[in-house]
Amino acid sequence: MESKDLLNRLKQSSPSTKLKWPETDEEITLNVATQQMWNTASLKASDIYKDVHISYHNMDDFKEEKIVQALYLCVKDSNNKTFCTISEFKKLITPELLVWLEDQHAILEEKYSPNIDNMSNDEFDKLITEVKKKPESTLSTISSIYTLRRVALCLVNPAPSLQMDS
């Protein structure tokens, strides 16, 4: 991946794609889930399960609730607005549709969100430079917690080569 491509992807304020909702002609917008969206989804799932002891037998249900909550935040109508309530959304979601949405989101995330596992050192250095220039807009495009951790570590304890460039 060219580092120029990475910067172009980072500059998109809200990485998204237009999709047809399966078995309909309805167009939806699927946005990349930001870390804030994942945190919100996790809090909502925790709230739903607040009176339930999470253990081996219901861990998958809890994880699925978190994913549904996150996808609800990512799926918008063709005007990028919420098109239904979370209750209505859950009624629409079949197991097959959930898998389809997860797959579509993974494709979108891979395309737009920087992932530390797929970056060269040069690309990572350019990401750090972009974060220093525009922290809020750049960080909001990163959905990988591992990439965010690496960025945070690099910013608080920069490598000697980056310190000299600054």
Residue range 77-91: average pLDDT? 90
Q: Which one of 71, 96, 112 terminates a domain?
A: 112
CATH number at residue 36: 3.30.2220.20
Least confident of 5-19, 21-35, 62-76, 101-115: 5-19
Residues 62 and 130 in one domain: no
Indicate if 54 and 87 belong to the same structural domain: yes
For the segment 125-143, the average pLDDT, to the nearest whole number, is 80
Does residue 26 share a domain with residue 101?
yes
Which of 112, 129, 148 is the last residue in one of the domains?
Answer: 112
Residues 48, 97 within the same domain: yes
High-pLDDT (> 70) share of the chain, %: 84
Nearest to residue 112, comparing CAs of 2, 3, 6?
Answer: 6
138 and 70 both lie in a single domain: no
Q: If you average pLDDT over residues 25-30, what whole number do you get?
A: 90
pLDDT number for residue 161 = 56
Query: Which residues are bridge partners to 19 per DSSP?
Result: 28
Cα–Cα distance between 30 and 16 in angstroms, integer? 5
Asked whether residue 8 is domain-assigned, the answer is no
Q: How confident is the model at residue 44 (pLDDT cuts 50, 70, 90)?
A: very high
Range of the domain at 80: 16-112
- Mean pLDDT across the stretch 135-159? 79
Q: Is 44 domain-assigned?
A: yes
Q: How confident is the model at residue 143 (pLDDT cuts 50, 70, 90)?
A: low
Give the pLDDT score at 50.
92
Angstrom CA distances, 155 to 56, 113, 125, 140, 158, stand at: 38, 19, 11, 16, 5
Q: How far is CA 160 from CA 1, 31, 123, 125, 157, in A?
A: 25, 36, 17, 12, 9
pTM of the model: 0.67
* 97 contact partners, CB below 8 Å, separation of at least 6: 22
